[in-house]
Chains A and B, each alone.
Chain A
């Protein structure tokens, strides 16, 4: 552990590294996190993390390297720097790397990203949130509920040889609850927030329980083309994939269906998607990127036209554009994916849908080919049938086997209300609403007659 204050240790590291390398980025973070996992209405495990780490990026003659330090005493720092010198001497140059950004910069605080009330939450209060969520689910008709509650407090400092110096604190609280009315009837809802005023665990529990109850007695679904209204938790993964595809790294690595599509139509004209690291209360909102560049809101798609890829300083130089503040010094990446709101409410969307399916969650999306966007995914939890704008029943055992560009082009309407989604299947936060998509391809398992019964 550092024998001197954290920031002084980082200064020593930066100064030492600047003597040996052309470019240096030192990013230190301290995190305390708490998780409560609950299974079938009971707490199954609690978890506590307490960590301090420093990531160090260096470049010398375009040879780039990274490492992480946990010990910050001077001896350890000096040893690490010597090791890096030897390591980088034998590395190969990255001709795509130019430099890190020249600072210094002025940073704007992101609103609602730090709430001391989260840092002050007691163990009893955290258990109380879990209890309220579970009880709300049971009150609405669920038989059992499982999920996690997680809180985190972090502080970060970034210093670069380019003169950038930034620091920020952050808090977050998330609640994920999956309620079961029976094994095949479930609903999964989230509440994610950076400040307590936006945190609604009981509401998430109630919605999960209500959805589970409504999904009782599902029947096997049928294959074919179908119009679908997706809830935010379901559609968020698609929007996340769009943002991932908009990183110039993904484009170059063959992992993007947006390659060669700049300023061309890639979605219906109601689709506008931003990457926004400045989003107030955004789960990944941050003042600075990995080079210390102040972050921004970048339009990725506007009315269905691809407007920007995401860049860092080096990729921006190659493409003769400006950095979008999305470093990753090698791999630019999205922060918060924000889908512009629509203008309908859920009832109105159901009327627009008229006949089709209402899908509440998707799980296990796997791509055949990232360049074409062909994928399969499983509707998990409640899948409702909709007839003449009314929910009439529930289904199970279907798969969506389609193509992401097709999905985007067939988006017809969205809700005005949006939610922030962050969870097991959606690792980059997405803020989006209900989304109506026409003509989605459904497949299902081909089945043989029932094989032999139990053998004891």
Chain B
């Protein structure tokens, strides 16, 4: 049960000591983790962690406090420290931090599990990893190094704010990640990949991890052994959902985070090529509409209310190539004269909630996948990437293919050993002229903030075609 009393006490105390606003987030997370290195079980463990995070506004400034001492004495000490610290900081607060006015909700929600995490025993979890190892061995591909990890967690949260919000949530999650190194012909190639969904162990049924990892090993070997050089000169490129997804995350989601736009990540994750006046600016073609949506059931980035108690909804970041919406929390929304769109997330009770993505993806278009290839005399189909890179303002991006193929006269032909797409954000999105129908999602762990916070996210979209791209070396 949530320690509601302690959270409510913390908020009340903060107000009594002069805070103009306060909110508290109690959290308990029960988690398990298992790993296998080259077929040998490594470390297994479990955690049951409870803590309280408290944000208070005082003299125009903001203090975030956290503790795992779950008693009133320590919470009182913490709040008193916070007030003293806020008092001292006031001299360097010129513009008071103000929050947008939002509808305040009192809700509880829980993500259901068909196959409960608590009912899957330790030995079965090890068997899951052992089965992946067997599948890779059975593939016949030389994979000299293999690292698999499996984890699950159930996070219970209670959020309360001095302006009347009360949100309870229980969110279970399962995740699997692997790193494999395939060897062939004196070369090696690596693939990192992760799967992450909210829900219980029923999610693994859809993942089919044995086939997935063994299949990746075969693909890596094929690329090394049969891959030809990528063509030179401007070519048409079809990006599969995995590549579209990373581009959505890195070059739309991130630069549209309003706190970055205001410089709040300036010394950490960086700023943005966008300014607050760029709503309405054309970045891409009519084919490109990118959204962020926390309400996708079963997604890694799932939530119904953000960590400020604002109801979650889909955000239309780029609509038909035009910047239409940023990701906001209450602070950034206030600065732009808007309402928050519920984008505040925190990794755990120790972390302040900041503007984050959830599930960021390209909306589907009208093309069947095979139609994307029609008419391409010579091009490249990039199905997955082994490296991605982007600058901190999110202008210059680079993707190096893991699996790629030549497109010749409208058909997928030979594997391409290494296709490098090194382009600008405007060129990527404005070169897009056709988008497929079927959306696929890929999991990631997004890092931001200081100390670094990891947020589980999805990214994705359908396949999409880019015209006239010059591939790098």
Q: Decide yes or no whether B322 CB sits under 8 A from chain A.
A: yes
Mask of A97-115 contacts with B, CB within 8 angstroms, 1/0: 0000000000000000000
Q: Is the CB of B63 within 8 A of A42?
A: no
Given contacts A52-B68, A451-B430, A454-B282, contact A42 B472 (CB under 8 A): no
Among A35, A91, A147, A453, the residue within 8 A (CB) of B267 is A147
Q: Is the CB of B179 within 8 A of A48?
A: no
Total interface residues on B, using CB and 8 Å?
A: 100
Q: Decide yes or no whether B71 CB sits under 8 A from chain A.
A: yes
B472 to chain A, nearest CB (A): 6
**Which residue among B37, B63, B386, B470 has the maximum number of chain A CB atoms within 10 Å of its CB?**
B37
Q: Is the CB of B423 within 8 A of A1?
A: no
Q: Is the CB of A50 within 8 A of B69?
A: yes
B13 to chain A, nearest CB (A): 15
Q: Give the residues in chain A near B398, CB-CB below 8 Å.
A: 376, 399, 401, 443, 445
Q: Give the residues in chain A near B397, CB-CB below 8 Å.
A: 445
Q: Decide yes or no whether A320 CB sits under 8 A from chain B.
A: no
Q: Is the CB of A330 within 8 A of B42?
A: yes
Q: Is the CB of B67 within 8 A of A45?
A: no
A43 to B424: give the CA distance in the assembly, Å: 33
Q: Give the residues in chain B near A96, CB-CB below 8 Å.
A: 37, 40, 42
Q: Is the CB of A91 within 8 A of B41?
A: yes
A364 to B387: give the CA distance in the assembly, Å: 11
In the complex, what residue of chain B is closest to A180 when comparing beta carbons? B266
B21 to chain A, nearest CB (A): 14
Q: Give the residues in chain A near B188, CB-CB below 8 Å.
A: 254, 369, 371-372
Q: Is the CB of A444 within 8 A of B396?
A: yes
A287 to chain B, nearest CB (A): 24
Q: Is the CB of B61 within 8 A of A46?
A: yes
Q: Give the residues in chain A near B386, CB-CB below 8 Å.
A: 368-369
In the complex, what residue of chain B is closest to A366 when comparing beta carbons? B389
Q: Is the CB of B396 within 8 A of A90?
A: no
Q: Which of A101-152 contact B (CB under 8 A)?
A: 122-124, 126-127, 130-131, 134, 144, 146-148
In the complex, what residue of chain A is closest to B82 when comparing beta carbons? A48
Q: Decide yes or no whether A434 CB sits under 8 A from chain B.
A: no
One of B86-94, B204-212, B359-367, B407-415 contacting the partner = B86-94
B378 to chain A, nearest CB (A): 17
Q: Give the residues in chain B near A66, CB-CB below 8 Å.
A: 43-45
A91 to B390: give the CA distance in the assembly, Å: 41
Q: Is the CB of A330 within 8 A of B266?
A: no
A91 to chain B, nearest CB (A): 5
Mask of B381-407 contacts with A, CB within 8 angstroms, 1/0: 000001111111101111010000000
Among B65, B268, B396, the residue within 8 A (CB) of A424 is B268
Q: Is the CB of B88 within 8 A of A94?
A: no
Q: Is the CB of A445 within 8 A of B263?
A: no
Q: Decide yes or no whether A197 CB sits under 8 A from chain B.
A: no
In the complex, what residue of chain B is closest to A364 when comparing beta carbons? B389
Q: Is the CB of A39 within 8 A of B264?
A: yes
In the complex, what residue of chain A is closest to B266 when comparing beta carbons? A146
B93 to chain A, nearest CB (A): 6
Q: Decide yes or no whether A377 CB sits under 8 A from chain B.
A: yes
A188 to B92: give the CA distance in the assembly, Å: 21
A174 to chain B, nearest CB (A): 10
Q: Is the CB of A424 within 8 A of B41?
A: no
Q: Is the CB of B87 within 8 A of A455?
A: no
Mask of A230-243 contacts with B, CB within 8 angstroms, 1/0: 00000000000000
A51 to B63: give the CA distance in the assembly, Å: 17
One of B73-81, B102-110, B368-376 contacting the partner = B73-81
Total interface residues on A, using CB and 8 Å?
A: 95
Q: Decide yes or no whether A93 CB sits under 8 A from chain B.
A: yes
Among B46, B77, B262, B281, the residue within 8 A (CB) of A455 is B281
Q: Which of B247-269 contact A (CB under 8 A)?
A: 262-264, 266-269
Q: Give the residues in chain B near A180, CB-CB below 8 Å.
A: 266
Q: Give the residues in chain A near B46, CB-CB below 8 Å.
A: 65, 67, 83, 87
Q: Is the CB of A364 within 8 A of B391?
A: yes
Q: Give the residues in chain B near A443, CB-CB below 8 Å.
A: 398, 422, 472-473
A67 to B95: give the CA distance in the assembly, Å: 44
Q: Decide yes or no whether A343 CB sits under 8 A from chain B.
A: no
A93 to B42: give the CA distance in the assembly, Å: 8
Q: Which of A230-264 contact B (CB under 8 A)?
A: 249, 252-255
Q: Decide yes or no whether B280 CB sits under 8 A from chain A.
A: yes
Given contacts A1-B74, A45-B63, contact A65 B145 (CB under 8 A): no
A360 to chain B, nearest CB (A): 14
A200 to chain B, nearest CB (A): 17
One of B118-126, B292-300, B304-312, B434-442 contacting the partner = B118-126
Q: Which of B341-379 contact A (CB under 8 A)?
A: 350, 352
Q: Give the residues in chain A near B88, CB-CB below 8 Å.
A: 122-124, 126-127
Among A329, A364, A368, A446, the residue within 8 A (CB) of B472 is A446
Q: Decide yes or no whether A36 CB sits under 8 A from chain B.
A: yes
**Which residue among B89, B144, B262, B281 has the maximum number of chain A CB atoms within 10 Å of its CB?**
B89
Given contacts A366-B389, A444-B396, contact A95 B40 (CB under 8 A): yes
Q: Is the CB of A397 within 8 A of B89?
A: no
A-B CB contact pairs (8 Å), 22 listed:
A39-B262, A39-B264, A42-B93, A45-B64, A50-B74, A50-B81, A51-B66, A63-B44, A68-B48, A70-B70, A88-B44, A90-B121, A123-B87, A127-B92, A176-B267, A254-B188, A446-B423, A446-B469, A447-B423, A447-B427, A448-B427, A451-B426
For the complex of A and B, the 8 pairs showing the least CB-CB separation, nearest first, are A254-B145, A123-B88, A146-B266, A254-B181, A90-B122, A66-B45, A368-B387, A178-B267
Contact surface of B with A, Cβ cutoff 8 Å: 37-38, 40-51, 61-71, 74, 77-78, 81-82, 84-89, 91-95, 97, 121-123, 126, 130, 144-147, 179-181, 188-190, 262-264, 266-271, 280-282, 322, 350, 352, 386-393, 395-398, 400, 422-424, 426-427, 430-431, 450, 452, 468-473
Known: A363-B392, A364-B392, A368-B400. 7 other contacts (CB 8 A): A45-B352, A46-B61, A50-B78, A67-B47, A94-B43, A146-B264, A443-B472
